[in-house]
Structure formats: structure tokens, C-alpha cells
Amino acid sequence: MNDLIADFSKQLMEAIAIGEAAKLSHSECMIRNVLITGLGGSGIGGTIISELAASGCPVPVVVNKDYFLPEFVNEETLVIVSSYSGNTEETVCAMEIAMKRGAKVVCITSGGKVLELAEDNGIDHIVVPGGMPPRACFGYSFTQLLYVFNFFGLIGEGFKADLGRAVALIDREEENIQYEAKEVARKLVNKIPIIYTVASYEGVAIRLRQQINENSKMLCWHHVIPEMNHNELVGWTEKSEHWAVVILRNDNDFERTQKRIEINKEVIKKYTDNITEVYSKGESVIERSIYLIHLGDWISWHLADMKQIDATEVNVINFLKNTLAGN
């Protein structure tokens, strides 16, 4: 896992080459909505791009993380199937439903049943390198999502320059990223991490939560501002040495939201002094998101290292899948 995280910028560059070479076909119908279906490490890219595209995409974007699809999915829907292994049973089921409804389907996968279905039915697909943990291949899947959105006219060409700048940014900042990640990890070890960020970066917070779950083998939770100001903030009523708060921030977050964050800190510090603010770097949303994701991945790895556990091991997920396969 250490090597996979260290090679993130190389993965992004390889993913850009794959995206540039992708062969896709246009839909016979006008695309009136988009649904991205995928789970875990394969699905988080969909959550993040749905937020990135919110301010510019001309049609609604929905993220699906289940066996079934909403009723609105039809021949005017672009369904993007994201399954790194190609064998995620929920995603395969959703893909088959999308095919039956005549949706325009595009697959992002390394192989498995998804690739088999795509090839057998003449469905557009982008193949990425396989054999790695799905959560370590975010760069592959996320980048392909950007290229698919661009092909269908849902985002402009600017993402390409943003991706290039993001690669340069994390390469340039790698030493600082490593240092900050280790410092944050020290504050989280043997604690329950609580992750907060602004609503438009919820996908980045989810990514960090998932990485702490899988790599660090720890429970944690996340919430977003301003929504948590209407519920969770009231729950801060008890002191505990177990709480460790991480706030993911951006210098250009909305002024009123930044004011909320400052007030939240005043409330929370009554119950824990373990509050860490992590600021993004970069000029675009893509740069800032990738920076925070890379930093978060290192935080989860350093946590695993401090706990002296194997960041790659996911035996309980394998147990779940094997048990399901036997029923």
C-alpha cells in the first residue's frame, strides 16, 4: 500500500493516457440525466465527480450504491458502471438493469463480469490496469469519469489542464504532504476520528473515512457543514479523550460557511482539544480535491504503520463476499 500511494502521481499520468486513447460512442438519444453506479473504492470517484460537476453539468447527476436503479433510468440516461474488479455483484446487477432499460452504458473496469458483459453486448468500456486493491486505484477510475463526462459534453476541456497541475502539485508538495500526514496520524491513533468539511467536498471526506476504515482498520464518521449545524452540533455535550476531530478546509470556502466552521470549533473545543485543520492546496477544485485525497491516503497509511497492522488486508470483506457466494 505504501508503494501504491507513493505512485499516485504516476497513476494519474497513466490514467490520463488511457483516457486520451478511450474509444467511446455517442448515445442515440439525448442524455437528460447521468447515473454513476459503483461501490467502495470503485464508487467514490462517482461521488466526487458528482460534486465537481454540480456547478457546470447541464443535467442531473445521481450516484447509485445498490443492486437496483431508480425508476427514472431509461434510454435518455447515461449510466456509468464503475467496478475495478468487474465482479462487484451489486454493480453487475445494476448494470444488467441499465441494459434492459436501454440506457446508454459506459463501463470503467479492469476485467471480470462487467468487461465480459460489455464485450458481449457491444457496450462502451474503458479498461484500466488490474491486480491492485480498488481503493488504491482511485486515480484510474476518477480520471476516466472525467473523460467520459467530457466526451458527452457534460464538462469542458479544462479538466485536462487541472489534472496536469494536480500531478505537478502533489509531486512538488510530496515531502510536505508526508510530513503533515504523519503529524495528523499521530493525533488520530487510538482515537475515534470525526471528519468535517464543507458540503461540496463531502466526497473527499468520505474518501478519507473509507481509507481510515480499510487501511487503518478503525471506525470513524464524517459530516458536512452547514448540515451538521442543524443536528450533529447539538450532540457535542460530553467530553471524551477518544474524540479526534479533523476539519478539511479550503481557503476559498464560502464566507458564511467559514464563519460557521469557526463557531463550530468554539463549541467542539469545550469537549475535546484534539482538533486538527487540514487545508487544501491548488487553484481548481480538481487540484484541491486530489491534494486532500493524497494527503488523506497517507494519513490512513501512517495510522496503519503506527498501529503495526497490514494496510492492505481486508479479510472481513473477503469473508463477506465468500459467504455471499456460498448462498
Task: Please check whether residues 291 and 274 belong to one and the same domain.
Answer: yes
Q: In this predicted structure, what is the pLDDT of residue 112?
A: 95
> Domain boundary at 125, 156, 187, which?
156
| Inside any domain, residue 219 | yes
Residue 114 within a domain: yes
Do the domain assignments include residue 296? yes
Residue 91 lies in a domain: yes
User: Looking at residue 221, which CATH number applies to its domain?
Assistant: 3.40.50.10490
Length of the chain: 327
State whether 148 and 6 are in the same domain.
Answer: yes
Q: So what's the pLDDT on residue 322?
A: 82
List 71, 230, 238, 255, catalytic entry? 230
Same domain, residue pair 171 and 126: no
- Residue 55 lies in domain: 2-156
90 assigned to some structural domain: yes
Instruction: Say yes or no: 118 and 171 in one domain.
Output: no
Asked whether the predicted pLDDT for residue 318 surpasses 90, the reply is: no
Q: How confident is the model at residue 326 (pLDDT cuts 50, 70, 90)?
A: confident
Residue in 214, 223, 281, 287 annotated catalytic: 214
Active site includes 302?
A: no
For 157-221, the DSSP string reads THHHHHHHHHHHHHHHHHHHHHHHHHHHHHHHTTSEEEEEEEGGGHHHHHHHHHHHHHTT----E
Q: Is the pTM of this model over 0.85?
A: yes
Q: Count the domains in the chain.
A: 2
* 65 carries an active-site annotation: no
Residue 323 in domain? no
**230 a catalytic residue:** yes
Q: Give the pLDDT confidence score for residue 185 in this predicted structure.
A: 97
12 & 99 share domain? yes
Residue of 65, 217, 265, 321 marked catalytic: 321
| 282 in any annotated domain | yes
Q: What is the pLDDT of residues 38-82, one digit of tens each?
A: 999 889 999 999 999 888 899 999 999 999 999 999 999 999 999
Q: What is the pLDDT of residues 189-200, one digit of tens each?
A: 999 999 999 999
Q: Residue type for 179, please?
A: Y
Longest dimension (CA), the chain: 60
The DSSP code for 126 is: E
**Mean pLDDT throughout 144-148?**
97
Residue 314 lies in a domain: no
